[in-house]
Amino acid sequence: MNWLNARIVSALVVWALVLVAPVAEAASRQQELERFLSKFHRLNQFNGTVLVADEKGVVFKKGYGSANFEWQVPNTPDTKFRIGSITKPFTAMVILQLVAEGTLKLDDKVTTHLPDYRKDTGDRVTIAHILHHTSGIPNYTTPEFFAGPSRDPYTVADFVKTFCSGDLEFEPGTKWAYSNSAYFLLGAIIEKVTGQTYAQALRQRVLDPLGMKDTGYDVTDTVLPKRASGYEAAPEGLVNASYLDMSLPYSAGSMYSTVEDLYRWDRALYTDTLLPAALKQRMFTPALENYALGWDTSPLQLHDGKTVLAGLGHSGGINGFSTLLVRAPERKQVVILLDNTSRSAKLMEMATGALSILNGIQPRQPKPSIGEVVTATLAKSSVAEAVARYRTLKAQKAGEYDFSERELNRVGYRLMRTGRVADAIEIFKLNVEMFPAWANGYDSLGEAYLKHGNKELAVSNYRRAVELDPKNTGAAEAVQQLEKAKEAHPAPR
């Protein structure tokens, strides 16, 4: 080979390596994502679909488990899931489009557009308050709501009167408290000012312009191709999720979508297709508790314990479904997770692990859930034996299982849903013993005691929850209501 030919061959080899290296790197990341994410499915901690993307496009997408367990229909990237509160950023987008058009203003009062709403509160709450969850309007999604009214259809007007018009919990703008009731009002305002239904306005203004053909407002009786069925975990295994009339989540949580369509939504947010740049920046600007206009802006801690990315996203939970969309906008990275078995506990761990892989960081590997072990024991044995099993494993194999605070809490709520309230109390008692500084544990124990009819112990535990977390408005309200009831109906002497 002469000198010139040798130079040519050498150059070709270099170029081949340049071209092959990115391809090999992408394949390696895909394999690492598959290894990491599939472990959650194997441990019964995830059943659904995943999409991971970076600035170049989709890196990984896959379905895990079944969209319908009765027929063993597999989940695929085009399976449609109810997305719950991931609806809220879409509602915020429509509201801000109306702001851009001059149809309404962020500082408009509720009564400006809903004149029949109660004036004493509606004159104090602005659209911005609602979008930021600082309105003070009580949240309707309480255990009492799901025990009864959640199965019944309501018109928008009737639902507003019944569930969105309560006394304010605090002066608007002074505190943060998540409120589905307030976001329901945004849908009513959209209908009032556009003359369309919320579903029509959403489709015309957002979904059709982005080509989101697999996304919409979910109606239970519609035959929707590739719709996932929703399931919940019970001591005996998965059961069909409790029925929920989809007119009730409305503009706070009634949408369905796919990971592929939500990726289209993510990419559109980097453009000015839907909203002028200035208003889009306003949409992503937080107020209290890192919550912007329909978006959670909490930072994302990656698994090396050092790297923190600016975050934008939202989670969703609705009967039978848990969802999460997490964006790292500075790097144009996104993780979308849709689950149809109500498993929400590990979604953020999955998302930050996937982002870690995208950024060259080794992710933490998932561990088996101690809650699943306790649940399996409860299916065959007494609650005393389940508690003993927990204590034994805690003493002997603490490093092999996930013993975090929420593990036992989920078991307790599974028992509550199936009527085993006394057993739930024992599990919640174990949890506050193990985690005495965790406010939510006492909140859950208080709820169980209340359901069991022991108001004194309910108040005691709710008070402890508020002492540990003064921002727990739900527990504080429960204490207030129980004390009022006691004053109104004192015990006989």
pLDDT value at 23 more than 70: no
pLDDT of residue 24: 66
pLDDT value at 327 more than 90: yes
User: Residue 15 — very low, low, confident or very high, per pLDDT cuts 50/70/90?
Assistant: low
Q: Are 256 and 83 in contact (CB under 8 A)?
A: yes
Q: Write phi, then psi, for 113 (nearest 5 degrees).
A: -110, -15
Section 484-489 average pLDDT: 73
pLDDT value at 150 more than 90: no
pLDDT tens digits along 397-414? 988 999 999 999 999 998
pLDDT of residue 19: 57
Q: Where are the domains positioned within the chain?
A: 84-358, 370-488
Section 50-70 average pLDDT: 97
User: Residue 456 — very low, low, confident or very high, per pLDDT cuts 50/70/90?
Assistant: very high
Q: What is the CATH number assigned to the segment(s) 370-488? A: 1.25.40.10
Residues written for the chain: 493
User: Residue 1 — very low, low, confident or very high, per pLDDT cuts 50/70/90?
Assistant: low
Instruction: Write the CA distances from 270 to 35, 130, 134, 282, integer angstroms.
Output: 30, 25, 27, 14
Instruction: Write the CA distances from 402 to 345, 347, 390, integer angstroms.
Output: 11, 14, 11
Section 62-85 average pLDDT: 97
pLDDT of residue 176: 92
Section 9-24 average pLDDT: 58
Domain 84-358 CATH superfamily: DD-peptidase/beta-lactamase superfamily (3.40.710.10)
Q: Are 44 and 372 in contact (CB under 8 A)?
A: yes
